[in-house]
Structure 1
């Protein structure tokens, strides 16, 4: 049997180093648990950055994928296929929107929303040609395409990838007044994460999303909510925007929409916005393919029960209560909503990566971001007992670091 060490060495030698993985090689997974090539089990508290909201190998999702594999996997959008209509209708009903434009990855969906907003600005709002601007937030993470990194404030994502795409105005996250001051006659949209995930699970002030919605309506511009990580049950609601009763003009969805099986993303909007796209103006060979749609249908059906949203809300209360007990014991701050938490480690004690390694040694998988922050996002199927156990492992790791 090839060992973990051998596989890690080969990976480091033969692949580009665009990630810095923890030294674990996963072989199989079920529910909230994964197993490495040596047979050691770990509780997955990252969930593929919220791609695995329903856990590894959810029976309903796997059944849908297997059934579809036996029938049809790809036609391209040159033809209709028998899964497409149900997927679009189901996601339209879930979001309350008229139309769906399916893609593959979250970054593709964000790019699609940007293109739609600009085209809407020119053809509906009457913005001057090639002058459209979109207001975006400092600390954002919407993907790593050339256009998206053009308005990133993360040096690792941004630097040395220019020349950059113009047309974006950066404002501080959490300030609607800053958005108001940035709006001009050529502004077509505000693009916002309801919770900033990569930045450390930052939850904006109460009323922030509602104020953005009111401002966009008053100014005649589109509100685009990037719910790629925050959506589809993760926060205890179907969408994080639901906490303020906000409905954006465009939802950007991905990650969990593919059930951890295939990449599936989409934007959802009403006909007066998304209806501006005509044949040949945007597309993807694999976007909306039969396998993706079959998996997406299964995901939508799971969400329609409300079971996962309620479970994330209930377990989220347990998670955040237990994490808050660690403040002053190696933890500086805890943020988040539902089964999603950003935990700031005292930088004088350890880095986020050091704590993540300590957790890995205790059979818990988590990931650091921005130095001293770790993110916790276990699958929604995790048991309360396992969730409490994971926080206890964090407490033990911090105790050992404090007493070392």
Structure 2
């Protein structure tokens, strides 16, 4: 008898339907890029907990760091009794900041919490209120983060009025007919018709949209946004929650453009599976809030800080930035070959820097019309063959690949074979 089925029944009774799970399988154990469910069935993990596990499940260095911290203390609340791992991690992150000048870092627990606080910091620094975000962007599920997110269902549906002062402009995606010029024209129109730039505290965007479909922000756009922010005293926020810590072949995805943001939001792979997030920013901006204006009871947990310090060591010692680039090259080459097969579902628009790779499932080969139904069939066929995949995108037809950067070559090859089989099975 399946152990997953009774767990799924218990879940349906105990957990509200607003919290969805992609699959009706329950984790029992995991190691690096592999996961076993409650029935003992093995899966190759190409989801990585939605980009949380760049260093894999239970990396030995992370586990050892956490065990050592557990033996000392688990919590004091940094606002009450501070501790060295928090300070040490902020020092490390400040040294990695992708902008010139002095940096400071404040730590939280979730990506949405980091986004909320980045907006607070920008408002405190500029003494302004409004924020510009982008269609297709995802910034979290708290109220301000949901307001910034450029998608109604399911993130805003039924939740009533969102916080005011949030404006959206189109994100440039050529396959959807939106160019950088269109985006910049929309900002100009916004400044003329709806909001005085003197009231805008920040512009926030993901250097590569995550939930929105793994669409990279063109360097042309990022450079233009930097000029707009400089000309109007606006803070530029790079939301690196999903893109950070090696996923794109750089520590932070914005580095590909050479553009320096003012603030970065970080989370996900920062702590190797432990809840930790933060904001890295220019010191003069970070010091704008009054003492006590930032923080949180569990913000910057010592356990998570210890894990994060180990993660940064692993990224360096195992050369995971280079590894991400190599994984991405391999994946895109293989996907290009699959796209030419006549016995597989049509795919196209293969994209993404480093190992942040995605492709679209289409109605016709060489076409552009999305096929979300076929996408669901591919993901289900992959699951049945022991591969965990995730979809995303505004049309639900993008498959994103987020395997750990520590994945062994043999497991990566096995996982791609399962992906290729799912693409043919679903045809």
TMscore range, shorter length: over 0.9
Query: Once the 2 structures are TM-superposed, how far is the Cα of residue 180 of structure 1 from its aligned partner?
Result: 4.3
> What residue number does 1:342 align with?
358
Alpha-carbon distance in 1 for matches of 2:235, 2:372? 44
- 1:361 paired with 2:384, answer yes
**C-alpha distance 2-306 of structure 1, shift in aligned 2 (>3 A):** closer
Contact 1:84 1:293 in 2 (8 A): yes
Alpha-carbon distance in 2 for matches of 1:36, 1:349? 27
Match of 1:167 among 162, 165, 168: 165
Deviations 1:170-198 (A, max 9, x none): 10113234334434211121100001110
Query: Once the 2 structures are TM-superposed, how far is the Cα of residue 372 of structure 1 from its aligned partner?
Result: 2.1
Contact 1:249 1:269 in 2 (8 A): yes
Alpha-carbon distance in 1 for matches of 2:104, 2:356? 29
SS in 2 for 1:352: helix
> What residue number does 2:5 align with?
5
Query: Once the 2 structures are TM-superposed, how far is the Cα of residue 239 of structure 1 from its aligned partner?
Result: 0.6
- 1:152 paired with 2:165, answer no
Taking the TM superposition and a 5 Å limit, the aligned residue runs for 1:190-339 are 190-260=203-273, 262-305=274-317, 307-327=319-339, 329-330=344-345, 331-339=347-355
**More moved, 281-290 vs 340-349:** 340-349
**More moved, 94-103 vs 26-35:** 94-103
Taking the TM superposition and a 5 Å limit, the aligned residue runs for 1:93-172 are 93-95=95-97, 97-122=102-127, 127=128, 132-154=129-151, 155-172=153-170
Query: Once the 2 structures are TM-superposed, how far is the Cα of residue 305 of structure 1 from its aligned partner?
Result: 4.1
Alpha-carbon distance in 2 for matches of 1:95, 1:153? 27
Which consecutive residues of structure 2, in runs of 5 or more, have no partner in the other structure?
173-182, 192-196, 364-370
Which consecutive residues of structure 1, in runs of 5 or more, have no partner in the other structure?
none
Contact 2:360 2:399 in 1 (8 A): yes
> What residue number does 1:351 align with?
374
Alpha-carbon distance in 2 for matches of 1:195, 1:263? 22
Query: Once the 2 structures are TM-superposed, how far is the Cα of residue 31 of structure 1 from its aligned partner?
Result: 0.7
**C-alpha distance 37-20 of structure 1, shift in aligned 2 (>3 A):** closer
TM-score, normalization: structure 2?
Answer: 0.88
Deviations 1:307-338 (A, max 9, x none): 01110011110011111222254213322221
Contact 2:138 2:149 in 1 (8 A): yes
**More moved, 224-233 vs 96-105:** 96-105
Taking the TM superposition and a 5 Å limit, the aligned residue runs for 1:6-85 are 6-17=6-17, 18-76=19-77, 77-85=79-87
> What residue number does 2:176 align with?
none
Deviations 1:46-73 (A, max 9, x none): 1011110000011111110000011011
**C-alpha distance 180-296 of structure 1, shift in aligned 2 (>3 A):** farther
SS in 2 for 1:351: helix
**C-alpha distance 114-63 of structure 1, shift in aligned 2 (>3 A):** same
**C-alpha distance 287-178 of structure 1, shift in aligned 2 (>3 A):** same
**More moved, 15-24 vs 163-172:** 15-24
Contact 2:374 2:426 in 1 (8 A): no
Query: Once the 2 structures are TM-superposed, how far is the Cα of residue 306 of structure 1 from its aligned partner?
Result: 7.0
SS in 1 for 2:84: coil
Alpha-carbon distance in 2 for matches of 1:305, 1:242? 20
> What residue number does 2:401 align with?
376
Alpha-carbon distance in 1 for matches of 2:357, 2:291? 42
Match of 1:189 among 198, 202, 217: 202
RMSD (CA atoms): 1.8
Query: Once the 2 structures are TM-superposed, how far is the Cα of residue 231 of structure 1 from its aligned partner?
Result: 0.7
Contact 1:3 1:38 in 2 (8 A): yes
**More moved, 204-213 vs 279-288:** 204-213
Query: Once the 2 structures are TM-superposed, how far is the Cα of residue 208 of structure 1 from its aligned partner?
Result: 2.0
Alpha-carbon distance in 2 for matches of 1:217, 1:31? 43
